[in-house]
Amino acid sequence: MRKKRARTSFSFCCQDRLQVNLDGQTMSLSGKLTMQEAAELTRHFLNHLRFIEQKTLVFDLSGLVHIDSAGVMALFYIRKKLYEKSIQSELTDAPESIADKIRLFYPEEEAGVSPPRRPAFFEYVGGQVYHFFSSYVFGFILLAANIFYWGVTDIFKPRARRKGEFVNQAVLIGVNAVVIVVFLTFVIGYVIALHSAGQLRTFGANIFVVDLVVFSILSQMGPLITAILVAGRSGSAIAAEIATMKVTAELDALKTMGLNPNRFVVVPKLYACMLTMPFLIVFANVAGIFGGGLAANVYLDITPEVFVNRMMDIMRNKELWVALVKSQVYAALIVLTGSFYGFRVERGAEGVGKVTTVAVVVSITLVIVADSLLGVIFY
Amino acid sequence: MEKEKVLEVQNLYAAYDEMVVLTDVSFSANKGEVTVILGGSGSGKTTVLNHLLGLLPIEKGTVSLLGKNVATLREVEQVDLYLQMGVFYQNGGLLNSLTVAENVALPLNQHTNLPQDLIDEIVFMKLGLVNLQHAFYLYPSQLSGGMMKRAALARAIVMDPPILFCDEPGAGLDPVSLEILDKLILNLKNKLGMSIIMVTHEVSSILRVANRIVFLDKGVVVFEGPLHEALHSTQPAVNEFFSVMKNENIRELLKG
């Protein structure tokens, strides 16, 4: 069997400033060993490592004239690699100034000799999944339970409520959103009717544009567009407000005053959002149907009387009830997501921006997922 | 024997718009010594420091650091000079988005081609010097004020700079943490021969570490010399500054 030939000696030079010689069991270093040389020394050495077959190595440092912390650590690193190959080594003959630096920087053997290791791949993935469930899913459920507990308690204890905050939040979350919600659903209703007009005219089914507009607006577009807009407007505002309060220790101050932050900050927002959302959806529905009716009149010559008569024939109470249920679910999701991420803020000012973004993205996602689920349930 | 100078400032003038902050500042700092820049609030200490660090353009006067005129440096030379100095900012200046280890490793990662495991070892060792190894994977926001300062010091010295600037290192620290920090700074001076330029007004800290005092008042250097001379100076501003603690600390110091 061919055996790899043992190399008992080699030598190399790092940047003309450090000369390294291995001869027998002595490895002599001469010249400077600073940050620049350390990089090359370790690289060269690792390349030569597999050739070394000696069982012990002695580093002769008598020729070193200068060393810095990176140099000392390079020696430590090399000795560690040798140790892993079961090669014993020692440092000898260092001039006093070099020995001083080595004493200063060289890690103590018995103390932890290495920085903590990075977790392996599966360990990392497992950790992340566990983290997701334990802190996100479980945390969200806990927060929701806590907020609903305080929400229900507050209904029966009006004295403990924060005065004026509910109205204030209702204006911020609901009233201020009316214009944008009305405008957008009007445009969407108009466009839905416009795009279907061509198709319906082909089949002479002009009158069915009313069914299309009314059903799509009432059961899908009205609630969904409203919820997405509220999530974008108020979800982000809630997250940013709570996150800022946490960063500036306002939440801690509330706690130490004996006030529950969930009750004091989140519950009024939850009430406000749950109460104003159905009204917003009603506005959205009216505007959307109005937009659709306008387009039907312009492109399909359906007069307002015909439109309204047909609408009255086909509208069912069910759509309105479903919209009401949806509005409550969406409102709760938006407020909970915003406050959940607000409470999770870390790392000061930078964190506030981050949680705000995440809160919006997650609340819109949850709203759409909930919409699909409710759509299936109430089909 | 004339000592080797690492820093020389001559006739430095600075103004923010109409407001003149430094009228005529000249001083120098010796190699291997701790030079403390002193002065009351608004005396221009921070402005001087920012000029030394090249953070403010020099309008009049010269600043020469390690023999190089800071005002005339090209950008590449300025970076070379930055690599030879460590700066330890008042509130740490750690990047919040990086862990402590990544913060300390940043200059090594950017300016050297050392292998990653060796960089980790160096960072671990430097964190050991400031007794912060347990904070390796923590983020700055998870550290206390004192820990944040020590992490910032570890980052400032990670490249073994011959010259270290400290901007109010003791601000907001309790006396015990301050003493630990001072010991670290003395160690750097004694064992590594680092030259240290420090802006501070912690009197206890000055007595422990300073070799040389530069006293600024209303934009002028009113005193420059060794610590023991400063303690006995008759210059009104200097005298007033040290008289605050003269009753307690000096007696002990003189006894010791």
CATH code: domain of residue A58? 3.30.750.24
How many interface pairs between A and B have CB atoms less than 8 angstroms apart?
77
> Is A110 among the domain residues?
no
Residue type, B228: H
> Between B42 and A302, whose confidence is greater?
A302
Evaluate if residue A200 carries a pLDDT over 60. Answer: yes
Residue B13 shares a structural domain with residue B44: yes
pLDDT band at residue A115 using 50, 70 and 90 as cut-offs: low
Evaluate if residue A111 carries a pLDDT over 50. Answer: no
Residue B195 shares a structural domain with residue B135: no
Q: Are residues A114 and B121, on separate chains, in Cβ contact within 8 Å? A: yes
Residue A240: per-residue pLDDT: 92
Residue A360 shares a structural domain with residue A312: yes
- Per residue in A242-294, pLDDT (tens digit) is 998 888 778 777 777 777 788 888 998 999 999 999 999 999 999 999 999 99
Nearest-by-CA chain A residue for B137: A116
> Is A197 among the domain residues?
yes
pLDDT band at residue A4 using 50, 70 and 90 as cut-offs: very low
Sign of CA dihedral B86, B88, B93, B96: positive
Number of domains in chain A: 2
Residue A235 shares a structural domain with residue A351: yes
Nearest-by-CA chain B residue for A347: B141
CA distance A144 to A138: 10
The reply to whether A347 touches chain B by the CB within 8 Å rule is: yes
Min Cα separation A218/chain B (Å) = 46
> Which residues lie below 8 Å from residue B187, measured CB to CB, with a gap of 6+?
B129
Number of domains in chain B: 2
Residue B69 shares a structural domain with residue B36: yes
Min Cα separation A41/chain B (Å) = 10
Q: What crossing angle do the helices spanning A267-300 and A317-343 adopt, rounded to 10°? A: 130
> Is A179 among the domain residues?
yes
Residue A101 shares a structural domain with residue A35: yes
Residue B153 shares a structural domain with residue B80: no
Evaluate if residue B50 carries a pLDDT over 50. Answer: yes
Share of chain B residues as helix, strand and coil, in percent rounded to the nearest 5: 45, 25, 30
Contacts of A76 in chain B (CB under 8 A): 121, 125
> Is A365 among the domain residues?
yes
Residue A340: per-residue pLDDT: 93
Evaluate if residue A2 carries a pLDDT over 50. Answer: no
Residue A280 shares a structural domain with residue A213: yes
Average confidence (pLDDT) over A139-167:
83
DSSP secondary structure code for residue A118 in this structure: P
> Is B108 among the domain residues?
yes
Nearest-by-CA chain B residue for A107: B125
Average confidence (pLDDT) over B44-64:
85
What is the DSSP pairing of strand B60-65 with strand B5-16?
Answer: antiparallel
Average confidence (pLDDT) over B126-144:
86
ipTM over 0.85: no
CA distance B71 to B57: 7
> Is A140 among the domain residues?
yes
The reply to whether A348 touches chain B by the CB within 8 Å rule is: yes
Q: For the sheet with B19-30, list strands across it.
A: B68-69, B60-65, B5-16, B19-30, B220-226, B212-217, B34-38, B195-199, B163-167, B85-88
Domain boundary among B159, B184, B207: B159
> Is B90 among the domain residues?
no
Residue B245: per-residue pLDDT: 61
Name the average pLDDT for chain A.
85
Residue B170 shares a structural domain with residue B251: yes
Min Cα separation B149/chain A (Å) = 17
> Between B229 and A365, whose confidence is greater?
A365
Average confidence (pLDDT) over A16-45:
84
Contacts of B140 in chain A (CB under 8 A): 347
CA end-to-end span of chain A: 77
Q: Are residues B118 and A73, on separate chains, in Cβ contact within 8 Å? A: yes
Evaluate if residue A134 carries a pLDDT over 50. Answer: yes
Residue A109: per-residue pLDDT: 62
Residue A342 shares a structural domain with residue A253: yes
> Is B89 among the domain residues?
no
Which of A15, A44, A68, A69 to mutate to probe the B interface, most B CBs <10 Å? A69
> Is A27 among the domain residues?
yes
Q: Hey, is A137 helix, strand or coil? A: helix
Q: Are residues B114 and A42, on separate chains, in Cβ contact within 8 Å? A: yes
pLDDT band at residue B242 using 50, 70 and 90 as cut-offs: confident
CA B195 to chain centre: 9
Residue A70 shares a structural domain with residue A165: no
Q: For the sheet with A18-23, list strands across it.
A: A9-14, A18-23, A26-33, A56-67, A88-92
Average confidence (pLDDT) over B5-28:
86
Residue B165 has φ and ψ, to the nearest 5°, of -105, 135
Residue B185 shares a structural domain with residue B119: no
Name the average pLDDT for chain B.
84
Residue B59 shares a structural domain with residue B114: no
CB-nearest to B96 from A46, A114, A348 is A348
Evaluate if residue A6 carries a pLDDT over 60. Answer: no
List the single range of A61-65, A84-88, A108-112, A309-313 with lowest mean pLDDT.
A108-112
CB-nearest to B191 from A38, A100, A112 is A100
Residue A51 shares a structural domain with residue A142: no
> Which structural domain range is residue A185 located in?
131-377
pLDDT band at residue A331 using 50, 70 and 90 as cut-offs: very high
Residue B180 shares a structural domain with residue B70: yes
Residue A345 shares a structural domain with residue A224: yes
- Per residue in B173-229, pLDDT (tens digit) is 888 888 888 888 888 888 888 899 998 878 888 888 999 999 888 888 888 888 888
Evaluate if residue B158 carries a pLDDT over 80. Answer: yes
What is the DSSP pairing of strand B34-38 with strand B212-217?
Answer: parallel
Q: Are residues A347 and B133, on separate chains, in Cβ contact within 8 Å? A: no
The reply to whether A358 touches chain B by the CB within 8 Å rule is: no
Residue A147 shares a structural domain with residue A240: yes
> Is A309 among the domain residues?
yes
Evaluate if residue B249 carries a pLDDT over 70. Answer: no
Residue A154 shares a structural domain with residue A94: no
CA B249 to chain centre: 23
The reply to whether A38 touches chain B by the CB within 8 Å rule is: yes
The reply to whether B110 touches chain A by the CB within 8 Å rule is: no
Residue A211 shares a structural domain with residue A335: yes
The reply to whether A158 touches chain B by the CB within 8 Å rule is: no
DSSP secondary structure code for residue A379 in this structure: -
Contact between B202 and B38 under an 8 Å Cβ cutoff? The reply is: no
Residue B181 shares a structural domain with residue B232: yes
Q: Kindly report the CATH number assigned to the domain that includes residue B238.
A: 3.40.50.300
Evaluate if residue A119 carries a pLDDT over 80. Answer: no
Residue A3: per-residue pLDDT: 45
Domain boundary among B115, B139, B159: B159
> Is A116 among the domain residues?
no
Q: What is the pTM of this model?
A: 0.62
Contacts of B98 in chain A (CB under 8 A): none
> Which structural domain range is residue B248 located in?
5-84+161-255
pLDDT band at residue B1 using 50, 70 and 90 as cut-offs: low
- Per residue in A37-79, pLDDT (tens digit) is 888 888 888 888 888 777 888 888 888 888 888 888 888 888 8
> Is B72 among the domain residues?
yes
The reply to whether B126 touches chain A by the CB within 8 Å rule is: yes
Residue A301 shares a structural domain with residue A162: yes
Average confidence (pLDDT) over B157-174:
86
Q: What crossing angle do the helices spanning B175-192 and A96-105 adopt, rounded to 10°? A: 150
